[in-house]
Chain A
Amino acid sequence: MTLLQQMESLKKTPLYDRHAALGGKIVNFGGFALPVYYSGILAEHEWTRKSCSVFDVSHLGEVRVQGDRAFEFLQKRLTGDLQKLEDNKILYNVLCSEEGKALDDVLVCQATHTDFYVIVNASNIEKDFEEFRRYVPEGVKLTNPSAEIACLAVQGPKSEEILEKLFGFKLKDLRYYYFKEEKFKNEFVWVSRSGYTGEDGFEIFSSNVFSTALWDRLVNDGKVQGVLPAGLGARNTLRLEAGNVLYGNDMDETTTPLEAGLGWAVSFTKGDFLGRSALLKQKEEGLKRKLVGFKVLEKPIAREHYPIYSQGKKIGRVTSGSFGPTVGYNIGLGYVEKGFEVPGTPIEIEIHGRAVPAEIVRRPFITLKHKR
């Protein structure tokens, strides 16, 4: 297949024509044709931190789980304790294999106690649906409405004020990781206070058809209020500074959530779940490696797959790396062997054939601005 054929075979979100018309630089992301940037990654990153950006994240998938036994089913299939949920609340979870390996990281949204939406990563939609289907009991209905649901992430310190102004939404009392139904032009949408950038922000879920009206209001009428569209490049540098893991980079089917530093999303006290015994064993035996944040002490950027050394001995690998536009230096995430994970530990990263000094640091790399 040529590059052109490959690009043409990609799935498109309902906003594809908007991205193209705005001059977005389109790339393949998880099988979707999406803009990596419009004006530039740095400018869009900085704009998000100081004002408000809108990102098309319609590539995210949704698995709807309904029925009297839906709660019990998800409680056994995911790592977190879903007792923490209530109606209109969201919980971060990991979907694990029996061996405790991470198949995906997901958000569980409880509409009611018998109706849940599980938000999954674009590249994992089919896999996750199959993983749920394999274990689904009688009396639980699974559907995959991913291709009909669009999502816009509106992120940055001015998001609340701007959304209230543009759409008349009431968002002041919406708490972090909660969602509510709102209405715009007689259409119902879901608005959650959530995001990936480390800023205050919202995600708006709507039908595909209606997403263009939301986008146009944000991008056209929102411009004077301080909204600009941003692409996946800025989304990546923003999430990295916020210390958020990216499935496929920082976590995959070879790593467990404990190794990825997601022990807080794993409940050993809630009862049995798929992967529990493997994870418990790993916890009791102690982790052999851990995902850490690092700061590169020189100019070159440590990128995905670059080897990490300590005094000449290989101790791990980089899983994400970039220049951090807000912090002003090069940062990244990577796995290191046990004993090297303590902040302050000096390491070296092989970059373009040279050992470049770096240091383990605490993540997030910035102060998170989420509203509690």
Chain B
Amino acid sequence: MIDTSKLKYTATHEWVSLSGKTATVGITDHAQKEISDVVFVELPKPGRVVKQKEAAMVIESVKAAFDIYAPVSGKIIKVNDKFKDSPELVNKSPYEEGWLYQIECSDLSELNSLLTEAQYQSTKRNAH
């Protein structure tokens, strides 16, 4: 089991796990519940360079399409290839099997602008 208290979060419901300069990105359990039944995941192309807060990809549920934002700037180096057959992994395992992509961070100081789990939980509450 992943320890979600070690992750960094965005106010737009993405999580980040950093290892060296490589950040693994996914969406939170709260986000997958809001999105509900995921039927299609449109991943970014490996090699694409994204800026922090840029819409990097799209997750589609039966009810709507949701932009997923890049939590940090950098180059996409790897994407999760399991979604072609199993888009529901985003719902079933948002922190593990349902990770979305990995990014090579171009500016590690951006990590400081992200939220801790406690901060994320409290922004989430205020938004409701």
Contacts and interface: CB of A to CB of B under 8 A. Distances in A.
A304 to B, nearest CB: 10
A36 B60 contact: no
Interface string B63-89: 111000000000000000000000000
A237 B62 contact: yes
B40 A36 contact: no
Interface string A226-259: 0000000100010000000000000000000000
Interface string B34-78: 001101101000000000000000101111110000000000000
Q: Which of B37, B62, B128 is the most central at the interface, judged by chain A CB atoms within 10 Å of its CB?
A: B62
B128 to A, nearest CB: 8
Interface residues of A, number: 18
26 contacts: A4-B128, A36-B63, A37-B36, A40-B36, A41-B36, A41-B37, A41-B62, A41-B63, A42-B39, A42-B62, A233-B63, A299-B40, A299-B42, A300-B40, A300-B65, A301-B39, A301-B60, A301-B65, A303-B64, A303-B65, A322-B62, A323-B39, A323-B60, A323-B62, A352-B42, A352-B58
B40 A301 contact: yes
A325 interface: yes
Interface in A15-49: 25, 36-37, 40-42, 45
Interface in A263-288: none
Interface residues of B, number: 13
A299 B128 CA distance: 32
Contacts of A37: 36
Given A36-B63, A41-B63, A233-B62, A300 B36 contact: no
Given A233-B62, A301-B65, A303-B65, A42 B37 contact: yes
A325 B65 CA distance: 16
B63 A300 contact: no
A303 B64 CA distance: 8
Given A4-B128, A25-B36, A325-B62, 13 more contacts: A36-B63, A37-B36, A40-B36, A41-B62, A42-B39, A233-B63, A237-B62, A299-B42, A300-B58, A300-B60, A301-B39, A301-B60, A352-B58
